[in-house]
Amino acid sequence: MTRIAHISDIHFGRIAYPGIVDALVADINAADVDLVVVSGDLTQRAFGHQFRAARQMLKAFDAPTLVVPGNHDVYPWWRLFSRLLDPLRRYRRIIEPDLAPSWRNEDVAVRGINSAFGWAVQGGRITERELEQIRTGYDGAAGEALRVLVVHHHLAELAALAGHDRARGAEHAFETAQQAGVKLILCGHLHIAHIAPVGLHPGDGIIVATAGTCTSNRGRGKDKAVNHYNLIAVHKDELQIEERVFLPDQNTFHDVAEHRFER
């Protein structure tokens, strides 16, 4: 069995409560996970001090981390030249030089891709480079391994959140993920937690797990004042995803829902 914590939209610069980052780290370390996945938006404005705070948090996890950037991690609009020429320079320098990181064991093969670009502001974008990273991302993975894709923006429309942002090129990327055998997509960006299978036909569907914002005061919709993350257990025949929510008066995270899917 492999356990993965999936956090997203940390947004250093807009942290909701003084103790929430430490509470998140303690909750995840107590869960004894094998991997911490971070699906982007580590900062609010891509400032150096916000990235350094994020790096400090990442180092506090006992488990290895797999991180992809979000649209808030590119240089802001008033750094126009940096934003256009090398939008993720600071992210790569302080957080993670590899924009297509991967991690695997015998149960799970995880590939991350970037969807944040300087000139496609909010909704994100998937280019041919990322499609190729999806296609080759699972080469050599064990046949039984659950194939997981991590990306900040959404590749498919979730019926329950109709009209939400989707990355440019999303449809093609979703099809590419299906062809690559991806069964689970971990994403964020919407600041609303939602977990649902998505796919045109039974059998080739993909479970899309959107994490809410784990630590910021930027929640939206039903999760306006909610901080959330996903705790995933990959069993041989089953995938469990537990949603955990922060209780400010107790300064701890608690489970609020559990989803089970056959593999």
Of 2 and 43, nearer to Fe ion (C-beta) is: 43
Minimal CA–CA distance to 10: which of 84, 65, 62, 64? 65
Of 137 and 219, nearer to Fe ion (C-beta) is: 219
Strands (E), the chain: 2-7, 35-39, 65-68, 102-104, 108-112, 146-150, 182-187, 194-198, 206-210, 228-234, 238-247, 252-262
Of 183 and 189, nearer to Fe ion (C-beta) is: 189
Residue 100 and residue 215: Cα distance in Å, rounded?
24
Amino acid at site 49: H
Residues that bind Fe ion (CB under 5 A): 9, 41, 70-71, 189
Min dist. Cβ of residue 71 to Fe ion (A): 4
Of 147 and 164, nearer to Fe ion (C-beta) is: 164
DSSP of 154-174: -SS--GGGTT----BTHHHHH
Min dist. Cβ of residue 14 to Fe ion (A): 9
Contacts of 232 (CB under 8 A, 6+ apart): 3, 4, 5, 6, 184, 209, 239, 240, 241, 242
Residue 198 and residue 210: Cα distance in Å, rounded?
12
Min dist. Cβ of residue 155 to Fe ion (A): 14
Of 111 and 153, nearer to Fe ion (C-beta) is: 153
Min dist. Cβ of residue 262 to Fe ion (A): 31
Min dist. Cβ of residue 145 to Fe ion (A): 28
Min dist. Cβ of residue 64 to Fe ion (A): 23
Of 182 and 192, nearer to Fe ion (C-beta) is: 192
Closest residue to Fe ion, based on beta-carbon distance: 41
Of 108 and 208, nearer to Fe ion (C-beta) is: 208
Query: Helix, strand, or coil here: 210?
Result: strand
Residues 2 and 142 sit within 8 Å (Cβ to Cβ):
no
Min dist. Cβ of residue 213 to Fe ion (A): 6
Radius of gyration over alpha carbons of the chain, in Å?
17
